[in-house]
Amino acid sequence: MDTTLDDPLVGQTIDGRYRIDARIAAGGMATVYRALDTRLDRILALKVMHPALAADAAFVDRFIREAKSVARLAHPNVVAVFDQGTDGPYSYLAMEYVSGCTLRDVLRERGALQPRAALDILEPVLAALGAAHRAGFVHRDMKPENVLIGDDGRVKVADFGLVRSVDTVTSTTGAVLGTVSYLAPEQIEHGVADTRVDVYACGVVLYEMLTGAKPHTGGTPAQVLYQHLHEDVPAPSAAVPGLPACLDALVAQAAARDPELRPHDAAALLGLALEARTQLSDAELDSVPPQAHAGERSAAEDRTSVIPRPVAAPEQPAEQTSRLMLSPLSVESDAPAPAAAAPVRSRRGPLLVLAALLLILGIGAGVWYINSGQFTKVPNLLGKTEEQARSDLSAAGLDVKRVDRKFSDAFERGTVMNSDPQGGKRIRGNGAVVITVSRGPEVVMVPDVRNRTLDEAKAELSKSGLAPGIVTQAFNQDVPQGSVISTDPPGGTRRAPDSAVAITVSKGRPVQVPNVAGKPLDQAKAALEFLGLTVQTAAEQVNSPAPAGTVANQSVSAGAQAAPGDTVVLTVSKGPRQIPVPNVVGQEADLARKTLEAAGFKVRVEKPFISFGNTVDAQSVPGGQTAPEGSTVILRVKGL
């Protein structure tokens, strides 16, 4: 059934700018619409928070945090956020509209994907998450529903509504947020959410793309969560025989139950995925998997869940504590919820009977006055200016009891970020409301960490309330190796708390690598170590034109710059290969030259001063004998 017709926002214009044309999707926190930006005449996606949640400052704060987090990423594989605002009871995000489908739609239709297709989707997802991780954020809700595949083939990550700073561990309620099929064990057991929970979720998504099914299934969310805690994600080849071992290894690394065994962030996992691709032949990349799992889905899965975490008694065993954590489960989902074990008796019936009796006794009017007539509802004040809030409260017959002012990175300076009681709550008609007005983002000073070690710089930034961002290295003659050259933004700059600060670390004075190819191994090692470089010798020797025992090649090319302590790997020559020489006597000289060059030899043709023919009369190495690859064979052309 098309519920678009029942949606009161369809056809409306939000904030005097965004005309809502159709509903795209709905979730527990917000509804997403296709809309037209009438000012710029472009189609976009408008994410509108449910009005019932708009009175909750924590939800609004999380909602606006999504806009700021994604806007800071500006990555081609992240759904862009254009605008954020409020219109009456509606808080919204204006986002990039991606015409296409989700990865979930693809898996439902096709089931297991070819390895090439799976990697083609995984790699841009990891690139997007890698940018978020290096900027100091964790997505925390990675799943196929949040991977958008455009009609033009572009892959984008959506729904950063659960993003947190890397240092954030749990929400204020202590509940675990996420989708049960993709939660990492540490999210379930301890509420920990660093970059490695996204890595784990990507490992589960890769398994699902390769096999068409989730690694852990069950009749209830609790069963799925138990498997995450106690069972490893199986190898994809167990479900799809013939899948290469490197894909099994990639899933095992990403979805390891112990977070210490996983790649530390999505950028590191992307490197492993690219390496795995190089190990696969075209036939392996394009192998067609069985489609037995197409459309398969467990009723207990794909739900964004809130799992209260009861505190176990000190004497309880760990296993029992885990079971307790899995039992009281509340699920938010558009899918039908399982029937309750027993009906909950409502108190509404007795209250209605009591009200009827009171009316019969003639005292109903007094009861109504006590319970309703003296009360009014607090208007929704979030996002309004202090002057507007005072006016709305006055219109409702309420006073302002007190105005508190606090820092906020979600609400603009001078706007209301909270009220007590909150909007929609009942209050006596002559009551007073405490409003909290935003002072804007609290700013911190970026410390000057130049010439400090990297660990010291990171500690100082964290102590100042900032997030150490991406670390790059550069040669510098003045700053010691391993010490900080500069930061972006530089020291002394004012920034909002938790802002990422990029760090550039010195590689020290550059060393120009000499050419040691063709030199004896001992001489080559001595020359490189004299410059402060570390030398390693490759385990296997190779055939090359260089004499046996000399250096065939070096891992860092001659003339390149390296830092002291960098490693140069030297490969030792076994000398040239001995290969058979073709017999070209009697052939025309041009044909003979081509034959020998194709076999791996150099050729020199010698002709007498007077010659009327062009036929090879003799060759310096007889046909059938062997000679070093690349050596020169002399051809003599018959004379008079």
Closest to 459 (Cα-Cα) out of 168, 240, 212, 167: 167
Alpha carbons 497 and 464: distance in angstroms, whole number? 8
What number of other Cβ atoms are within 10 A of residue 107's Cβ?
24
Residue 258 bears catalytic tag: no
Question: Using an 8 Å Cβ cutoff, are 564 and 481 in contact?
Answer: yes
Write the DSSP symbol of residue 509.
Answer: S
Instruction: Give start and end residues of each alpha helix (H) in 25-150.
Output: 57-73, 103-110, 115-134
Among 61, 120, 141, 498, which one carries the catalytic annotation?
A: 141
| Maximum Cα interatomic distance, the chain, rounded to a whole number of Å | 142
Alpha carbons 411 and 418: distance in angstroms, whole number? 10
Closest to 443 (Cα-Cα) out of 405, 403, 498, 490: 498
Alpha carbons 526 and 503: distance in angstroms, whole number? 35
Alpha carbons 590 and 48: distance in angstroms, whole number? 78
Closest to 124 (Cα-Cα) out of 144, 102, 154, 99: 154
Coil vs helix vs strand at 381: coil
**How big is the chain, counted in residues?**
640
Alpha carbons 57 and 348: distance in angstroms, whole number? 30
**DSSP labels, 265-278:** SHHHHHHHHHHHHH
E strands of 446-499, at which residues? 467-474, 484-488, 494-495
Active site residues: 141
